[in-house]
Amino acid sequence: MKCSVIYGDVFARHDMDLHAESSSRFRTVLGGVPAGLRWRDPVRASVADLERVHRPQHVRWIREISNGTRYLDANTYITPHSFDVASYAAGSACAAMERSLDGEHCFALVRPPGHHAEPDRAMGFCIFNNAGVAAAKALEAVDRVAIVDWDLHHGNGTQTIFYGSDRVLYCSVHEADAFPKTGWVDEIGSGPGRGYTLNAPLQPGATIADYLSIFKEVFIPAIIRFRPDVVIVSAGQDPLFDDRRGHMNLEPADFGVLTGLLIDATDLPLALVLEGGYGPSHGRAVSHIFRALRGDRAEPGDRPVRRSTQEVVGILKKVRFL
């Protein structure tokens, strides 16, 4: 299957020296992109695209305050370039989704990340919800979208956007009790969306054995049952063992394992959107993701599944679509 990457220098313009989410992240990330891959230019989201998931007041506010450099909260900054860059991040996520609908795996290497952005709030380094904007645009043309979020942190913004919808299945595996302190197993959706949100909070120190247990016993069966038309991955590689922002123990090759599982289980091209990832081995993780997208399959090491993970699996297996 064809495979491509979306990237452009525009993503370096939203920048603040010494901040964890700065343009220097891409020095590591881009080193993981293999030779011979099709590179696609970034695409800018329209205001209408953004307003499918964000309130018009939020979009207008971000545009108006992008006239200087300041903090919006304790860890989210904005610069004179941020409205434009964040618009390109959301638009490029949409472009990756459209490439996947055309039969091509596509990884949008964008920043700022997006999965913490709420309909009316920027937070957690995120300004617009890139995966959410892409999913909402996809629903203009297809019936169902699955979003798989393997970032270290729970994607509270993505969950909020689709919490009442039965057209989006949101599956998040993340470190329990980490920022933003959401994503517990009892958060399963509301109204028509009850049962279409699956949260797997794992205790610190989780390995690929724990992640595989969640994917094989919970996420993949749910995705198969849901029968999505497109699968979007909020691809944050901060669960890596050397990422100081968390306490997980994934190896770079493990992200290739997870990618391969999703491809083989759904037989659908993936649209991946970069979220977090700040450790030295991030580039190698990205490399393994691309290897899986191009057909390589890696075998995970033999490690035990922890009892705490088994308990999460047991609870989530009881969740059913209504």
- 109 pairs with which residues across the strands? none
Burial classification of residue 140, based on how many CB atoms lie within 10 Å of its CB (0-12 exposed, 13-18 middle, 19 or more buried) = exposed
User: Distance (Å, rounded) from C-alpha 243 to C-alpha 264?
Assistant: 28
Catalytic site residue from 116, 154, 174, 288: 116
Tell me which residue of 233, 284, 292 sits closest to 115, measured CA to CA: 233
Q: 302 near 257, Cβ under 8 Å?
A: no
Residue 116 appears among annotated catalytic residues: yes
Contact 130, 96 (CB under 8 A): no
Q: Which residues pair with 40 in a beta bridge?
A: 6
φ and ψ at residue 152, rounded to 5 degrees: -55, -35
Token couple for 236? 């944050």
- For residue 242, the surrounding DSSP H or E stretch is none
Structure tokens at 103: 């039969």
How big, in percent rounded to 5, are the helix, strand and coil portions of the chain? 35, 15, 45
Question: Max Cα separation, the chain?
Answer: 52
Catalytic residues: 116
